[in-house]
Chain A
Amino acid sequence: MKQLAGLLLVLALAVRVSAAGPAPTAVSNAQPILDDLQHKMSSVTSVYLEFTQERHYPNLSDAPFTSGGVMLIDRPDQIRWETTSPFQSILLGNQKSVAQFEFQDGKWKKLDLGFNDVLKRVMQQMSLMNQGKLDALTADYRISAATNTSFIILTLVPKDENVRSLLPSLEIHLLPDLSATREVVMHENATDYTSIVFSNEVRGAKFPDGTFDQTKPLDIAAVKAAIKHAP
């Protein structure tokens, strides 16, 4: 489950990436990039992102299985990850608690979540990351960087052998100025991977009341409308 934490931490960095451009060249020292990223993230108070998640299992299907949704982060510690297609699910978290809802039979049902403790820890780490505190990442991952003219790729390799056996590496594809992350890629083995491509990022979004409510979260349509009509 630590790999899940890694993924969410990476997502909390919130940017966009593309795989376009020439082959990247390894950077001998990733620390300046991490420092710059930390500096930039420390000024971000909130972010709204839409995502497309593609699960690639070539042993099962040539085409990826695709889902879509939104991710919202609001300082100091509120996070909402919502899948909107092909099913509807909301994962909410902060430093104290997590909640997951499934849309079933025309209404939202709150789950008695089995991963509660694990997810709470994940959310705590996400909160740290959202405040630009990268220590959590460097403690758990070896981080390397590669660049070309189109993007920066941060590659995270779990230090723990058991975690690494489940998740060999994560890649974060960032725009060269670190202003946005376009894609996160989780490599599971030589063939299987999941990519999450971000779009329509809004930084400094003002989320309406109820957006992160763990009892009755505000409908995502209302959240989107509020962001769209914000001054």
Chain B
Amino acid sequence: MRHNCAVIIALVILAAGCSTAPQKTAAPLVHPTWSFPSDARITERAILTARGKEYPLNGFLASSETGGLRLVVTEGFGQVLADVLVTTNGDVHVMRSSRLFRPKWIHHYVATDLLCVFGRPPLADPAVTMPDTNHFVIQRRWYSVDLRVVQVEPGPQPSNRFDPTLREAP
């Protein structure tokens, strides 16, 4: 089974590896109109599609006006696949990675997608749309994410959650 898992992980990593950064366009972008509370705990459910296969994931986000955004991505039963911090100055810190989500991919893609949906303001990116309230679709060249915000709990988040020095080895 570990062999099977390795194959799947390799496929996903390959798929992610072929991805491109958020598409740049010469046309002026319309800035997203959605917003979330500056200080909140947010739970997400997402379906990652890569090479035609679908991978259900969970996202747990701590958002702080002064600290930034910290997102933990897990598989269905709780195993952490990625933990990323984006501070208010835009610096990206990979706090934890996994074989499925390598540090480089978390830095480039997870963090970018995070800012496209939850940034203040969200990054303007034509690859990201909101078909319905709390429903986002991120359509990249080699992968897509169907993301649903399923729970928003407003409230201040402890500042130490946003300290990039308190991280595990990626």
Contacts and interface: CB of A to CB of B under 8 A. Distances in A.
Contacts of A59: 83, 95, 161, 166
Interface residues of A, number: 45
Contacts of A160: 2
Interface string A57-92: 101111101000000000000000001001101010
Nearest to A7: B77
Nearest to B48: A114
Contacts of B2: 1-2, 160, 162-163
Nearest to A3: B79
Interface in B31-90: 41, 43, 45, 47, 50, 52-56, 58, 60, 62, 70, 72, 74-80, 83
Range, interface on chain B: 35 or more
B62 A102 contact: no
A163 B99 CA distance: 12
Interface of A: 1-5, 7-8, 53, 55, 57, 59-63, 65, 83, 86-87, 89, 91, 100, 102, 104-105, 111-118, 121-122, 160, 162-163, 166-167, 186, 188-189, 192, 194
Interface of B: 1-2, 4-5, 8, 11-12, 41, 43, 45, 47, 50, 52-56, 58, 60, 62, 70, 72, 74-80, 83, 95, 98, 132, 146, 148, 150-151, 157-158, 161, 166, 168
